[in-house]
Structure 1
Amino acid sequence: MQGFGILASAIVALIVLAAFRSAIIEDVSAVDYCWRIVLGVGAVPGLLALYFRLTIPETPRYTMDVEYDVNKATNDITNYLQTDDSRDENDGPGNHVDVPKASWSDFVSYFGKWKNGKVLLGTSMSWFALDIAFYGIGLNNGIILSAIGYADTHEAEMGLRAYNSLKNMAVGNIIITMLGTVPGYWVTVAFVDSWGRKPIQLMGFGVLTALFIAMGGAFNPLKEHSLPAFIVLFTLLQFFQNFGPNTTTFIVPGEVFPTRYRSTGHGISAASGKLGAIVAQVGF
């Protein structure tokens, strides 16, 4: 869904700019209202997600592994699969499963074992490496927007120049997203179960490595003498980021950890990614 989120944000920006066109041309400070509205609209999906996360029932796996209630977990599965409302006669608490309770000492004990710790290390470093590339690529968006004719404009009147420049950026980002980001996500959706998470992630990192070497080694010649080739390589980067680690790094941490540490493991992995984003922005 991240690809659709990126696409939706550009569309919302375009709509808001169109609504404020006259105000921006008359007074460029009206742009201040635009970015506030765009950010506010972006909070709506987050609030909807928060509502559903607070109201949806717990999964049977959580009920069994964290609440230790096997009967309730069994009944939840049965009620979901059956069309009637029949319940097992033993639907009260009971048959507790013997699973360690989440605690700091158990966390250290569990991830202190190499066979478990290496999984957390792998998901964290994968996300860290990905976000260095992901946010590093974003620094070159201006070059691509300029190459496809959606860069800043040069009108004499400041308000008109601001409006046209922002509109061009929004349209250009829609084009970039549709070229590589959204198709990459959908190809992943098509193959993630049949091909598998690990092969897709390894393939994605491998292809991205080759593309980065090619673009890094010939960055200036490509930018100055062969912009079409630069655009093609950039599009392939976007595609294989999303048909690859930018999807699997989200999926894998949600599947490989025990229930009691699934959120913790996913959170540590995601935080490692944000550290990579900081490295990309500060280092490059």
Structure 2
Amino acid sequence: MGRKRVYGVTLILMMISVIAFGLSFGQTPEGVVATLCFFKFWLGFGVGGDYPLSATIMSEYTNKKTQEASIALDDYVWLIILMVGAIPVALTYCWRMKMPETAHYTTLIAWNAKQAATDMATVLNVELEAKLEKVERLAMEPSSSYGLFSNEFLRRLGLHLLGTTSTWFFIDIAF
């Protein structure tokens, strides 16, 4: 088929797979996952063909001096592509910092039921009123009266906390 034609086929396969992956469809969650897996497989197939073919084409077209300059340029291009990936993260950060704090935190931790009601009314686009007596009653329940380093905390949540932290610790070591 020739390198140029195979290169084009792998790139088209990658483009179609990425677009289809982003537009995954299905009536059920299982159908969506199956569609995602299907198109992820074909994306991997295209990438698997593209990588060695790119290296082969580059090595056949360039002499030693041009090849070294091209490799240096490729290093900068990949760094720029990686940095461009920070743009969606920065936009997400800006959007999330404009969001109000959750009502649970504002009410039970910051003790501001009125602000919580205002924030939730804005987010949900409905009218809410703060019920201060209910907040005070919830705050006085025994479930929220123990501290972070208390025996009650260890008795209720210690085993779960130990299990979660040790699991993450071992995953970090494995990686």
Please confirm whether the aligned pair reaches a TM-score higher than 0.5, indicating the same fold: no
> Structure 1 length normalisation: TM-score?
0.30
* Structure whose alpha-carbon radius of gyration is higher: 2
